[in-house]
Structure 1
Amino acid sequence: MNRILVLGGTGFVGRATCAELVERSGGAGGTITVPTRRARAGRTIRYLPTVEVVEADVVRDDRALARLVAGQDAVVNLIAILHGDEARFREVHVELPRRLSKAMRDAGVRRLVHVSALGVGPNAPSLYLRSKTEGEAVLRDAGLELTILRPSVIFGAEDRFINLFAKLQGVLPLVPLGGAQARFQPVWVQDVARAIVVALERRDAIGQTYECVGPTVYTLAELVRLAGRIAGHERPVLPLPGALASLQARLMELAPGEPLMSRDNLLSMQVPNVATGQLPGLEALGIVPSALEAIVPTYLGSGAGRARLTPLRARAHRD
């Protein structure tokens, strides 16, 4: 596949995916098109060989989406949100897949890799998970050559999860924590990026749904303690009962900017964010999942979040 459209390519997983696509192609041939609402958001991938960053709002502009899809060999959809009201979740997780599938059918583009989430289901407790469920259904009904990936929480040098808990423990004497017993099976961002690229390459991945998880299951409290320990300032964790956890999340929602945790996040955590064992995993794509304890110490607190892109930029003769 020489022409690939990566929706959400400027995000955390998107940057890793673009870098993986470039690496596997040797930095030569083909085009990776990455739309973004703000051109500056693409500054870290703009100079990767074969990557073209285009300013466009694919979530709301049908003509821009159709124009970008036309002529592509495949599409990767990584666009998602963690916070919002019902209308916003539907716009991003349901209506965008609906509009994308129409644009792909109109343009004769059939191959799509879509990144969803573990825990989806029609009776899921949160708006996030229910909208993700409906988005999957929309794409399955579209008649495309579809592969779905369902990752657990994703960690890596630029994540807003492990890094956040490490930073909080650098300033707080203890960590009050809602959902402390929620279970996760964190997966490395590079393993997810590799899974996306391998799925694009393999015809036998069409029609499949893969659960992307790491080798170990942790509670949220265990992950918080681990982040603090690796960063060198582990603090006690104070688990909050349901009512206090909900109040904490509500107060975070009222704070300026993106909340650290919302009430909808707490509802999502009622569903274990771990592999069900009923679907193929990374191993089915030839990927051995990396252990969190082996990866996080290589970057936590080092400020080396974008170091992996350096060799690729060098190929484009950039500093």
Structure 2
Amino acid sequence: MTGFETLPLTRPDAQLVTVFGGSGFLGRHVVRVLAKRGYRVRVAVRRPDLALFLQPLGKVGQIVAVQANLRYPDSIVAAVQGSDVVVNLVGILQETGRQSFSRLQAEGAGEIARAAAAIGAPLVHVSAIGADAASPSAYARTKALGEARIRDAGGDYVILRPSLVFGPGDSFFNRFAALARALPVLPLAGAQSRFQPVYVGDVAEAVTRAVEGRVPAGRVYELGGPEVATLEAIVRYMLTVIMRRRKVLDLPLPVARLQAKALEIVDTLSLGLLPDALKLTRDQVTLLQSDNVVSEAAKAEGRTLEGIGLQPTTMEAVVPGYLWRFRKAGQFAKPRVAVESAVPETLSPVPYAPVKPSGPALGPDASQPSRMGTRWGTRG
């Protein structure tokens, strides 16, 4: 199979794409690109009233939000009815209440896959690099289990595994920049783990190409940017962008786990009111101990952004455009390092200095007293 073969036979404006999790960080970018391509988009979320901000991304009536909860299979079946393609972007980094890793990322993904297969709609599923059934991290294990249930559902699918996703509104660069604005020290768990940050716009484009049938189905793709760097290096780059000096501290694993446990207790006692920038779980600490980069096998087999015809975007091209608000002096703050003037020297090689002062305020001869008093009158 070379792709979702039925899709190119119909114009985009005649096709309906249902997007689960379309109101999230990645979801809003996916919805925007799909709408721009002309698709009708149904956004399946728990609170449709909180997804109304998506409607201006398309034409009148092109984007509609409907209620769906992955804990209730009947709502999933209702949401996918009439869909030509289904996209699943649901994922969480921290369990809260009844929103567990197992229910959303494993069982929920399986329910969506079965509902899509039942109506013959292909599924585009966004997982994560590092998904591994043997991982000590519950997040990574349930991501892998969700992928397995998608394969078992029997329908056509494309699975995309992005690395750390960045872009306006992300929860990584914005989070650490907010911490840098408030704290003199930035403690890091897994500071030497490697990441391959990928631009959210590139991931959204990859999802859209899969919807269009331009990505071979039945495969798992790993999406990473052009740069591989340690977590510490990425955080130091962020500090350079926001022009702040902070000490970056590499926490030993036992200390990081102790810190995470303390923050979990504080978050529980505060009924979840702890600021997002301060939240850290022991499962996240475990996850941060492993590298998060595109595998050599994926590169060799063309299961990457480049393999589907996309050129990854660098961090430098995007990050400064939305982190400037964390600078002390705002957008127009000058960097500490002196930068040579961009004005060509041929325009003004040396400052202009007249040999003989002249002008109306000085009179025709600077050696004589000014006659301005005569002209304007003097007080006697």
- Give CA-to-partner distance per residue, 1:172-231, whole Å, 9 cap, x none: 111122211121100000000000001111255211211110011111111111112101
- Give CA-to-partner distance per residue, 1:228-270, whole Å, 9 cap, x none: 2101213110111111111111122223335632110111122
CA distance in 2, matches of 1:162, 1:204: 30
Deviates more, 1:178-187 or 1:33-42: 33-42
**TM-score, normalising length: structure 1:** 0.88
Q: SS where residue 301 of structure 1 aligns?
A: helix
> How many aligned residue pairs are there?
297
Q: Residue 160 of structure 1: CA displacement? A: 0.8
Structure 2 residue aligned with 1:150? 161
Larger-Rg structure: 2
Instruction: Pick the aligned partner of 1:243 from 237, 254, 260.
Output: 254
Decide whether aligned partners of structure 1 residues 241 and 156 sit closer, same or farther in structure 2, where only a CA change above 3 A counts.
same
Structure 2 residue aligned with 1:277? 296
Alignment of 1:34 with 2:43, yes or no, is yes
Alignment of 1:141 with 2:152, yes or no, is yes
Decide whether aligned partners of structure 1 residues 282 and 203 sit closer, same or farther in structure 2, where only a CA change above 3 A counts.
closer
Alignment of 1:289 with 2:298, yes or no, is no
Asked whether the 8 Å contact 1:8–1:35 carries over to 2, the reply is yes
Q: Residue 3 of structure 1: CA displacement? A: 0.3
Asked whether the 8 Å contact 2:42–2:64 carries over to 1, the reply is yes
Amino acid at match of 1:8: G
Amino acid at match of 2:184: P
Amino acid at match of 1:57: A
Deviates more, 1:30-39 or 1:288-297: 30-39
Amino acid at match of 1:291: T
Instruction: Pick the aligned partner of 1:16 from 29, 41, 53.
Output: 29
Structure 1 residue aligned with 2:101? 89
Instruction: Pick the aligned partner of 1:3 from 6, 10, 16.
Output: 16
Amino acid at match of 1:61: Y
Query: Comparing both chains, which one has the higher relative contact order based on Cα–Cα distances under 8 Å and sequence gaps of 6 or more?
Result: 1
Structure 1 residue aligned with 2:125? 114
Q: SS where residue 249 of structure 1 aligns?
A: helix
Alignment of 1:102 with 2:114, yes or no, is yes
Structure 1 residue aligned with 2:263? 252
- Name the % identity: 39
Asked whether the 8 Å contact 2:209–2:215 carries over to 1, the reply is no
- Any unmatched runs of 5+ in structure 1? 304-319
- Give CA-to-partner distance per residue, 1:22-53, whole Å, 9 cap, x none: 1222xxxx420002222342132122221111
Deviates more, 1:253-262 or 1:12-21: 253-262
